Amino acid sequence: MPVFFLSVDMETAVEFNPVEFDEVAEIPTLHLSFIIQSLLPVRLVGWQTTKRHYENIKSSYRIHEADAGDVIEYVLVGSIAEGYSIPNTIVKSTPPHLESFSDIDALFVNKHLKISTKPEYDKGAFKGYCDFSESHPGYLRVCLPTVKEQDEIFIYDKDKNIYYMSSKAQQEKGFHNMKDVDIGAGRIIDAHGPAISLEYTVKPTIYDWKEKNAGLSQDIVLALPCYPWPEVAKEWKSRGLKSAWLDNDFVQSIIDDGCHVVAVPHRKSSYPDIEWRLSFSASEGRLGREAVTDSQRQCFIFMKILRHQFTDNRLIGLQPATLDFRQINECLLIDIKAFKQHRDIQKSVNEGVFVAAFSCCLLLLLEETKQSDAQQAKYKEAVYCIIDIFPFMRKYLYPEMKLVDLLNLTGISIPDLKRSVHFYEAAVEMIDAFPDFLNLRDVYMQRDLKEASLILSPT
């Protein structure tokens, strides 16, 4: 959890220069856009989708907050809270298992232990203050003039006649208390740096897919609420004036939220047992949830998955399992090399983008699962394969085309009548999101009747 706000030296006027072919990467931007969208659809990583996961985790923590009598608060931070987590994947192993690339990160906040960033503070509102002297930037010691009872977490400095709250003792005390908590079978509690970690000992299988938070380890860091906004991060106050990305009201609301101090000393600290660190993780979470667009989120997560060999042995979402990503998009990958010579975007859309999407659509319609809801989800994903390429088709080939026309063209092009019926059926079931799809109902019913007549009279 880096101290994000200590440096805000960002570009404020970057010119966007769209080109058909990136000479440095040697890839057409059209093809790259399609690859990103087919591997990581916006609908899979957009905030409206990831928000449900975020809210599910928050709701599970609210139970613990209620049990503590509203004294503590769990603040979700990290990739899941920001909406930047890589979606759960299925690894093509025997048997297949789920794989997660993001832990649940949370701050364990004592709401009654508010700390002031200033040595002059309201004794009724704050329990102590931050001493930034003799510490590296962003680090501090938590000072308390008096304490109600002697405790190992308080270290008395006779020379200064003041108590310091020990970050190390607080962490050890928290770990000791957590060890008495029943966390269920298949998980262990361990210390992981400054965090108390709850880790799974068994990999979840694909049958655990619907279980809330299946396979996700949890890292919990002790934290104290800290107000007002610290001077060391004062540049953030003028952030809205330096860039049009964030408006002043949003910046002010971040400042009003304050920040936290966490039990993490600097690695070269002279006082490691009593040193804490400023944390702006909660603010970073708000930025990710409220100020980042879904397209920006998609690109950022795509950059993260480049570190892993996703396309060979992993499936994201409802991708076809019978062929890997490279095989499904072989025509597109071939056209990437050819485009450098022919530079014909219409040819690439028609012979690369559409063929790749249509191939993926057919594979999803052919794959069979034992669960009816999973089967129907496969069929809807086949429809989404075509929906995703509609912007390409309309921009480069058919400016007057409607989405429903593209779906109809696709449906009647599916050679297997039974699969074609499944395609139309799935599309019609999506009329709440796409009202125009109701126009496909007549075609669906006609092909459904035709399939029934073939079953009754196969000769």
For residue 4, is pLDDT > 50? no
Task: Quote the number of domains for the chain.
Answer: 2
Residues 227 and 334 in one domain: no
For residue range 302-327, list pLDDT tens digits in order.
Answer: 988 887 766 567 888 788 888 888 88
pLDDT class of 459 with cuts at 50, 70, 90: very low
User: In this structure, is residue 85 part of a structural domain?
Assistant: yes
Q: Give CA separation, 336 vs 22, 30, 223, 339, 348, in Å.
A: 11, 9, 50, 5, 8
Same-domain pairing of 335 and 256: no
Location of structure tokens 């890839």: 27
User: 269 and 331: one domain?
Assistant: no
Average pLDDT over residues 394-399: 93
pLDDT value for 185: 52
Residue 9 has pLDDT above 50, yes or no: no
Are 250 and 156 in a shared domain?
yes
Question: Per-residue pLDDT tens for 186-222?
Answer: 566 776 677 777 776 666 555 554 454 555 778 888 8
pLDDT at 131: 94
- Domain span at residue 286? 46-305
Residue 177 and residue 55 in one domain: yes
Residue at 405 is within a domain: yes
Higher per-residue confidence, 127 vs 7: 127
Q: Give the pLDDT band of residue 18 (cuts 50, 70, 90).
A: low
Instruction: Report which of residues 50 and 215 the model is more confident about.
Output: 50
Query: Are residues 245 and 375 located together in one domain of the fold?
Result: no
Summarize pLDDT for 67-100 with one digit per residue, the tens.
Answer: 777 788 999 999 999 999 888 787 777 777 777 7
Using the 3D structure, point to which of 260, 278, 305 is the last residue of a domain.
305
**Tens digits of per-residue pLDDT, 100-117?**
777 889 999 988 899 999
Would you state the structure tokens that stand for residue 161, as one six-digit string?
A: 């006649």
Q: For residue 160, tell me if it sits in a domain.
A: yes
Among 250, 276, 305, residue at a domain's last position: 305
Q: Are residues 129 and 271 in the same domain?
A: yes
Same domain, 113 and 166: yes
Structural domain contains residue 357: yes
Both 252 and 376 in a single domain? Answer: no
**Whether residue 95 has a cis bond before it, omega within 30° of 0:** yes
Q: In this structure, how many other beta carbons lie within 10 angstroms of the beta carbon of residue 421?
A: 24
Dump pLDDT digits (tens) for 271-292.
Answer: 889 999 999 999 999 999 999 9
Considering the chain, what is the average pLDDT of its residues?
A: 83
Is residue 23 in a domain?
no
**Cα–Cα distance between 383 and 424 in angstroms, integer?**
8
| DSSP bridge partners of 106 | 76, 220
Is 258 a domain residue? yes
Higher per-residue confidence, 457 vs 178: 178
Measure Cα distances from 397 to 12, 57, 351, 370, 388 in Å: 36, 44, 12, 39, 15
pLDDT tens digits, one per residue of 413-455: 999 989 999 999 999 999 999 999 998 988 777 766 666 554 4
Nearest to 433 by CA among 379, 392, 390, 384: 384
At position 25, the amino acid (one-letter code) is: A
Residue 331 corresponds to which tokens in the numbers above? 């025509």
In a domain, 111, yes or no: yes
Among 279, 305, 331, residue at a domain's last position: 305
Instruction: Single out the residue of 50, 105, 108 nearest to residue 289, CA to CA.
Output: 50
Token look-up 């769209």 returns 18
Nearest to 423 by CA among 355, 358, 327, 350: 358
Q: Which residues are paired to 244 by β-bridges?
A: none
Strand partners, 159: none
Quick one: CA torsion of 452, 454, 457, 459, rounded to 10 degrees? Answer: -170
User: By CB neighbour count within 10 A (0-12 exposed, 13-18 middle, 19+ buried), where does 170 fall?
Assistant: buried
Same domain, 351 and 220: no
- pLDDT at residue 183, rounded to an integer: 54
| Statement: residue 171 has pLDDT above 80 | no
- The closest alpha carbon to 1, from 100, 84, 107, belongs to 107
| Region of 78 on the Ramachandran plot (φ > 0 left; ψ -120 to 50 alpha; else beta) | left
For residues 239 and 369, membership in a common domain is answered with no
* Cα gap 420→14, rounded to integer Å: 47
Give CA 192 to chain center in angstroms.
22
Least confident of 163-177, 195-209, 343-357: 195-209
Q: When comparing pLDDT for 212 and 161, which is higher? A: 161
pLDDT at 16 over 60: no
Picking from 440, 424, 353, the residue whose alpha carbon sits closest to that of residue 393 is 353
For the chain, give the secondary structure using H, E and C.
CCCHHHCCCCCCCCCCCCCCEECCCCEEHHHHHHHHHHHCCHHHHCHHHHHHHHHHHHHHHHHHHHHCCCCEEEEEEHHHHHCCCCCCEEECCCCCEEECCCCEEEEEEECCCCEECCCCCCCCCCCEEEECCCCCCCEEEEEECCCCCCCCCEEEECCCCEEEECHHHHHHHHHHHHCCCCCCCCEEEEEECCEEEEEECCCCEHHHCCCCCCCCCEEEEEEEEEECCCHHHHHHHHHHHHCCCCCHHHHHHHHHHCEEEECCCCCCCCCCCCEEEEECHHHHHHHHHHCCCHHHHHHHHHHHHCCCCHHHHEEECCCCCCCCHHHHCHHHHHHHHHHHHHCCHHHHHHHHHHHHHHHHHHHHHHCCCCCHHHHHHHHHHHHHHHHHHHHHHHHHCCCCCCHHHHHHHHHHHCCCHHHHHHHHHHHHCCCCCCHHHHHHHHHHHHHHHHHHHHHHCCC
Tell me the CB-side half-sphere exposure of residue 234, using CA atoms within 13 A: 3
82 belongs to a structural domain = yes
276 and 352 together in one domain:
no
pLDDT of residue 318: 80
